[in-house]
Each structure stands twice: as structure tokens, then as C-alpha cells.
Amino acid sequence: MKTWLITGCSSGIGRSLAQAVLEAGYNAVITARKVEDVEDLTSAFPQTGVAAALDVTKPDQIASAVKLAEQRFGGVDVLVNNAGYGYRAAVEEGDDKDVADLFASTFFGDVALIKAVLPGMRTRREGTILNISSIAGRWSNPGSGYYSAVKFAIEGMSDALRKEVGPLGIRVVVVEPGAMRTDFAGRSLKGTKTVIDDYADTVGPRRKENDKSSGTQPGDPARAARALIKIVESEKAPFRLLLGSDAVKIISAELDAQRKEVDDWKELSVSTDFPSGGQA
């Protein structure tokens, strides 16, 4: 029986996935910064579920969560890096500490978890790592430059990782949700304290206090959870998985625009090569 380790399970996709994984009969270590936020999930599955406090910026808690999975269930077969939060600011407005904290929790936390589970996965020559990214990992909006930077970093790291561990029997999947009906635009969204008036028209409508999308997003976290379980259970998995009709629409348009830009500027791009004889 596979054992899952899921981060950020207090709400949203993480909580829905934790519930679905336990209901499907898998072993699971369900984590959140406050363990009491997830104990209700595991109490109904005392044989297969265990709750653990996990702040992904704290190496000792990462080590403890992985050790718990090893002691209770023999190791981690599926890692889901889901912990994180949103941050809205114009690039010029971004606070250095806020940005550093965002990267610490949403990128470097993922990396630390991956490093912690890979020795066991390499020994067993199997495993699946699901890194929860976003459509912001391939496309960005005004005010989301730093959040996109984190997700672009996750996707770049994951692309290299899959090529490194794929030959060892370990799969890496980047999950790119669109707008999900979670707390992302509410409790889980942080905003800059610095506001520059010149960005009122571009960033202004997307500032936390002006974002009215919470509770109206098209994506269903429960359906997203079932899709992720299906990916893990499948013999073949994509490297990138979009979640939601809005995600498919937005990223399809973005890829079309990128392809057009490459074609439009191809002549200038290739003009920078040395002549065919190799002489300047």
C-alpha cells in the first residue's frame, strides 16, 4: 500500500487531497503548521492516517515528518508539496523580507522535502513527487511577479529533477491549478504594505483588498484531489498537469502567443549565429 506525505493540509487542495487519499485506503502522513488543524482528518482513519506538525521552513520538522512516515508505514511513496501562499505586489513594491519568506516557504521548503524523501525513493527505485505549482508558473499577471517567480522556480527545478530521477524509477509531476474555490484569494493571500499610486490601474484591481474572487472560483478542490490520485495510480503520468477549464484556456493562449513571438522574431534570432563557415 502506498504511503503519501502531503504538506499544507489545513485547507484548500491539500485538505481535499488528504481526505480523498485516506478515503481511498492509502497510508498518509497529513501535515499542517498547526497539527490540530488536521487531526480531525486522521482521527477517522487511525490505522492508515497520522497527523504531524510541519512548517516546511524548519528542517527538524521536515526530518521528523519523514521519519514518522518511515516508522509507521515504511517510507514515503508519494510526496505532495502543497504548502504555500499567495503574495501580491508590483515588482517595485515588493518587500525584501516578504519575498524572502515567500521563497523560503514556497520554493526552498519544497526542495528540502524532496531531498528528505529521495534517499528512500532511490533505494526502492520508485516513487512519485507532485509539486503543486500554478498557471502562474507559466504565465503572470500584474501584481503576481514574485508569486510567479516562485512557481517558475519550482517548474524549472522540477524539469531538471525529473530528468535526474526518472531513470531511477521516480516520477515528478508539476500540477498547475487554475482558480480553485479555496482560501487562496482570502486567508492564504498576502499583500504588500507599500502602495505606489502609479500602479493603481495595473496592480490595483488585483490587490488583496480589491480581490472579490474568493468563493466564486470555478475549480473544485475535491475534483482536483481525485484527479491527482488518478495520476498517481496511472502507469503513465504527464510532467505538467493543468487543473481546470480556465487553466487550459489561459495556458493554451499563452503557448500560442509564445509560438507566434518565436516565429515573428525568428529571422533576427538566427542572425546572431556565426556564418556557416564558422568565421566572424
Choosing from 147, 148, 158, 199, the catalytic residue is 147
User: Distances from the Cα of 56 to the Cαs of 1, 192, 211, 248, in angstroms?
Assistant: 26, 22, 27, 30
Instruction: Please confirm, yes or no, whether 11 is among the known catalytic residues.
Output: no
Place of cell 568565421: 279
Task: Work out the number of other CB atoms within 10 angstroms of the CB of residue 4.
Answer: 28
**DSSP letter, residue 143:** T
Q: What is the grid cell recorded at 209?
A: 483588498
**What is residue 5's three-state secondary structure?**
strand
The torsion defined by the Cα of 28, 31, 34 and 35, in degrees rounded to 10, comes to 20
Choosing from 11, 105, 133, 144, the catalytic residue is 133
Instruction: Please confirm, yes or no, whether 85 is among the known catalytic residues.
Output: no
Interatomic CA distance for residues 189 and 206, integer angstroms? 11
Choosing from 26, 151, 158, 199, the catalytic residue is 151
Instruction: Please confirm, yes or no, whether 151 is among the known catalytic residues.
Output: yes
Interatomic CA distance for residues 273 and 280, integer angstroms? 9
* Active-site annotation, residues: 133, 147, 151
